[in-house]
A and B are shown apart, each in its own frame.
Chain A
Amino acid sequence: MKKKVNIDSTTFWFLYRRYKEYLLPVGVIFVCILLFLFVIIPQFQNFLDTQQQAKVESSKLAILKNNLNLLTNMDESQMDSQLQIVSGALPSNKDFEAILNGISVAANKSGVFLGDYEFQVGDITKPSLNIQSYPSLQLSLTINGGVSGVTRFMTELYKTVPLSEITSVKVSNITSEITALFYYKPFPPLGFNSSMPINPISQQGLSTIANFSSWNNVTRVSQTVSQPAPASSSAETNPNPF
């Protein structure tokens, strides 16, 4: 059962007079506790949050500065030539001209004569930009040559751009049939995010590019990439993304 405490004004004044001197220090303590709870602790929390945010922003700034440094020190002409080489090796579209040139160069270098050839163009709709696999153009060609001629031709073709893969070989005494796939891939969408670290070309990548520069048909492909030919097929996309 609750007891009711009645304090009349006389009692109140009596208590006030008796504890008057305590009022100020107790009030100060009370205010200090309130300040601690509602100002200092939130401010400290805010400080921790700001520290965390500053840490994140500082690392972001470091990435940006690194990116800026990397991009500033990059030789654009060298980058252009590297882009031309890799675009020649893996064109962005079905580059019939480059393929035929590549075959012709490989045949000349291996000393074999080319017979009939047949392209299996396949789907001519523009391939999706987000594809993960490598679309290819199948080419069947006849070579006037035996085993040694075919081997020489295959060796040369594997050192020729655009990149190809031989999928079947039929060699008889004087004529041989080769089926090869010529790869291409559209340029990916340029989702460039400057706050993400930009990686320079890796050592392995540089050696791959250096290796390509000594391959057959590179010069011709580079010219094609730097001076894009007018679109001749609905499957074609602009080889130069810039």
Chain B
Amino acid sequence: MSNNINLVSNKDEDSLKAKKRLKQVRAIAVISLAIVAFLSIIIFIINSQTSLEGIKKDENSTLQSISYLNKKAAKLAIVNNRVKDVSDILQKRKNYTSAINTLLQLMPPGLSTTTLELGKKDVTVVVRSNSLLLIDKFLNSMMELSAKKQVISSLTIENLVVNQKTGSYSLSLKTTLL
């Protein structure tokens, strides 16, 4: 005889389990429905608040107002462009005046310039004097200037000529501008 025969049915327990499971499934369904509804409402609200149409409308009206001022805008653009160009030219153009003035300041009284040639980089200067001392003084000043690397970077004596008739000395120097 089998001892394992259970005459008491456990149908109620199964039914309870099934009801519990059904309850859980229903709860999940309700929760998921609520979540979907909640998210839909939230997205609907934030989407309706972010209005691109309003911005575009505002943009179009501003563009229309600007179109009446296009002439002014073009003038401003041209002025800005010209200012940039002239500043560029002013910055890059070479100023020989300061170089000439510096050279002239170095000349002691009694020394005169007979020739001054300024090229893109080189300056050739020919000075004349009756005194060799003044020429020496000028030459020393030029060498000092070259050593300090101010205005000129190199100095070459091209020739020193003595005119026996007039008793004057003529010195030709070639320098390179900085």
Chain A interface residues (CB < 8 Å from chain B): 21-22, 24-26, 28-29, 32-33, 35-36, 39-40, 43-44, 46-47, 50-51, 53-54, 57-58, 60-61, 64-65, 67-68, 71-72, 74, 76, 79-80, 82-83, 86-87, 89-90, 134, 146-148, 150-151, 154-155, 158, 163-173, 183, 185, 187-188, 190, 192, 194, 198-202, 204-205, 208-209, 212, 241-242
Contact with A along B29-53 (1 / 0, CB 8 A): 1101101100110010011001010
Q: Please state if A43 and B43 are interface contacts (CB–CB under 8 Å).
A: yes
Q: How far, in Å, is B68 (CB) from chain A's closest CB?
A: 9
A47 with B46: CB separation less than 8 A = yes
Please, which residues of chain A bring their CB within 8 A of the CB of B40?
35, 39-40, 43
Q: Contacts A154-B96, A201-B80: A50 and B50 contacting too (C-beta < 8 A)?
A: yes
Please name all residues of chain B whose beta carbon is closer than 8 Å to the beta carbon of A154 when the two chains form the complex: 96-97, 100
Find chain A residues with CB under 8 A from B72 CB. Answer: 71, 74, 76, 79
The answer to whether B63 and A205 touch across the interface, beta carbons within 8 angstroms, is no
Q: State in angstroms the CA–CA spacing of A185 and B79 once bound together.
A: 13
Closest to B100 in A: A151
- Asked if A25 and B25 make an inter-chain contact with CB atoms under 8 angstroms apart, the answer reads yes
Q: Apart from A54-B52, A212-B86, what are 15 other A-B pairs with CB-CB below 8 Å?
A: A26-B29, A36-B35, A40-B39, A61-B55, A90-B86, A134-B85, A151-B104, A168-B119, A169-B100, A169-B117, A185-B85, A190-B77, A194-B66, A201-B79, A208-B83
Residues of B within 8 A of A (CB): 22, 25-26, 28-30, 32-33, 35-36, 39-40, 43, 46-47, 50, 52, 55-56, 58-59, 62-63, 65-67, 69-90, 93-97, 100-101, 104, 113-120
Complex alpha-carbon distance, A54 and B115, angstroms: 72
Q: For A68, what are the chain B residues with a Cβ–Cβ distance below 8 Å?
A: 62, 65-66, 69
Task: Say yes or no: A165 contacts B89, CB within 8 Å.
Answer: yes
Contact partners of B79 in chain A: CB under 8 A: 79, 82-83, 86, 201, 205, 209
Q: Is the CB of A168 within 8 A of B75?
A: no
| A-B pairs under 8 A by CB, number | 206
Which among B76, B88, B93, B101 is the interface contact of A151 at CB below 8 angstroms? B101
Closest A residue to B43 using CB positions: A43
Contacts of B81 in A (CB 8 A): 187-188
Complex interface: chain A residues within 8 A of B87 (CB)? 204-205, 208
15 sample A-B contacts, Cβ–Cβ < 8 Å, listed by A number: A24-B29, A47-B43, A47-B50, A64-B59, A64-B63, A65-B62, A80-B75, A89-B82, A151-B97, A151-B101, A154-B100, A158-B97, A167-B94, A169-B116, A171-B117
Q: A172 near B78 (CB under 8 angstroms)?
A: no
Beyond A47-B46, A64-B62, A68-B62, is A170–B89 a contact (Cβ under 8 Å)?
A: no
Q: Are A57 and B59 in contact (CB under 8 A)?
A: yes
If A57-B52, A147-B113, A169-B118 touch, does A201 touch B66 (CB 8 Å cutoff)? no
Cβ contacts under 8 Å, B39 to chain A: 36, 40
CB distance from B124 to the nearest CB of A (A): 9
Chain B hits for A202, CB < 8 A: 80, 83
**Is the beta-carbon distance between B97 and A163 smaller than 8 angstroms?**
no
- Residues of A with C-beta under 8 A to B65: 68
Q: Report yes or no: A54 in contact with B50, Cβ–Cβ below 8 A.
A: yes
CA distance A214 to B61 in the complex (A): 42
Residue contact B76 to A166, C-beta cutoff 8 Å: no
Distance A22 CA – B119 CA, assembled complex (angstroms): 101
* B63/A194 in contact, CB under 8 A: yes
A79 touches B76 (CB 8 A): yes
CB of B50 within 8 A of CB of A25, answer no
For A24, list chain B residues within 8 Å (CB): 29
Question: Closest 6 A-B residue pairs measured CB to CB?
Answer: A25-B29, A86-B82, A205-B83, A32-B32, A171-B116, A165-B93
Complex contacts, A194 vs chain B, CB 8 Å:
63, 66-67, 70, 73
A50–B47 contact, CB under 8 A? yes
